[in-house]
Amino acid sequence: MNQHSPLATTTIAETLAQWIAGLSRDGISKKAIDISRMLIVDVAGLAIAARNEDYVAATIAATDKGVTTAIGHHGGFDAFSAALINGTAAHGEDYDDTFEGGPVHSGAVIVPAVLAICEREGLSGDRLLKGVAVGVELLCRLSLVAPKAIHTAGFHPTAVIGTVAAAAAVSASLGLSESETVSAIGIAGSMAAGIIEYLAEGTWTKRMHAGNAAQSGIRAALMARGGFLGPRTVMEGTHGFFHAFAPSREPDFGVLLRDLGQDWIMETIAFKPYACGTMTQPFIDCAVQLAETGVSADQIVEIVCDVGEGTVHRLWEPLAVKHAPQTPYAAKFSTPICMAFGFLDRKAGLAQFTGERIADPAVRALAAKIRYRIDPNDEYPKNFTGHLLATLSDGSQLEFRQPYMRGGKHAPLTVEEIETKFVDNAVYGGWSRETALAFLTLSQTIFDGADIDRLKEFAL
């Protein structure tokens, strides 16, 4: 048997497959195309920045050689390995894009998956664009189906949703038939994985979630192309994806399908200004604003932050642990430590998250003064806001609010700012400025070329 049997109604996966099969370049909005290019640039810079890190070396130790490029690494890898390496490195420092409303990280999943399959198969720039746009749009939309419920169940939305979106993206690039695409999405539902227990000790598993989703998406699409069947009811079925990964909330598939292909919600993707957890970013801005008043850390008695309840278990609790994280990676998910960096350094970039810096007595002392209270009116996850109320030694108080995340839909980074971030990250990872600028030049036409073989020039 190599065909599905008829069903009385069209399933979610079948509706998605119909859209994917009928999508042409003309159907992708100009802004979505621009965002797709910026995602490639951002992901590449992050992959280079992390290429010498221990967790990337450990990942490479589990890969196989081939003809596909891991950006910033000598030699070729098979497509699965390249996607795993690029995705792990791009997500590893938590400096990659995010989608407000999810939150999910699209670029680090979709870009590595689609780059790898396009390079492996010798596909055109049009196929690259279609895969990136389809995958990113679906990852964002899927994150809205059951807000907060995937995290509540103990899973990482980027990891589990990313696997399904990556399968759809690779199917789009490969030009699979509707039935093959349905199977790819169905197969991906059984490959999806990624728990959030990394929070307990700041270990490395979250770092691999994007890369694992990327390689799994490739596998699912290629199995479907080979004739392997996956369930059409993978999304809405009795034993389907959202039943398994988001059981506490009734899924709303209307937000997934409504105006699909007309309203490109990926246009609102946020590019991070700080190298840490998404919801900490507006709080860092508040800490910078406090520092700019001229107040010293010694004058601060206490800082209280109004927060959304859905952020507490990842970014605030256990509070004693968040005040003194044991690893640089754990510090990225400690709002008190990130705020301390913002106050003391006016930044929270790659250079802040080192073992030496997170153990600095001044950082620890300020972080220990920061606590939270739940604001029942907080807009999370629809909007990421920041707040602090600082009580000073003379009894006076200073209060600051950041009404949105910088870099997001309300205050997006410019193309120039994203490209500057790329160059800074590439230089941080050991590339010359000239090499970084050459990659930016390639990115300008990467969706227009007959193939993407020039990627191999950046396997260095």
Structural domain spans, the chain: 12-272+420-458, 278-402
Angle, helices 178-191 vs 205-225, to 10°: value is 150
Instruction: Give backbone dihedrals phi and psi of 443, rounded to 5 degrees, phi first.
Output: -60, -25
CB-CB neighbours of 394 under 10 Å: 8
Supply the DSSP symbol for 143.
T
Q: Which CATH architecture has domain 278-402?
A: 2-Layer Sandwich (3.30)
Residue appearing with tokens 């009811």: 233
Q: Following DSSP, what letter does each residue of 305-331 receive, concatenated? A: EEE-GGGHHHHTSSHHHHHS-SSHHHH
**Residues 184-225: pLDDT tens digits?**
999 999 999 999 999 999 999 999 999 999 999 999 999 999
Nearest partner of 283 among 388, 158, 411, judged by Cα:
388
Mean pLDDT of the chain: 96
Provide CB contacts within 8 A for 384, sequence distance 6+: 100, 103, 278, 279, 281, 282, 404, 405, 408
- Note the pLDDT tens digit of each residue in 432-460: 999 999 999 999 999 997 668 888 889 88
Give the CA radius of gyration of the chain: 22
Provide the terminal-to-terminal Cα distance of the chain, rounded to the nearest Å.
46
Per-residue pLDDT at 167 exceeds 70 = yes
Please state, in angstroms and rounded to a whole number, the distance separating the CA atoms of residues 162 and 213: 6
Architecture of domain 12-272+420-458: Orthogonal Bundle (1.10)
**Residue 1 pLDDT exceeds 60:** no
Q: Which residues pair with 300 in a beta bridge?
A: 392
Report how far residue 442's alpha carbon sits from residue 406's, in angstroms, rounded to the nearest whole number.
Answer: 28
pLDDT of residue 2: 45
pTM: 0.94
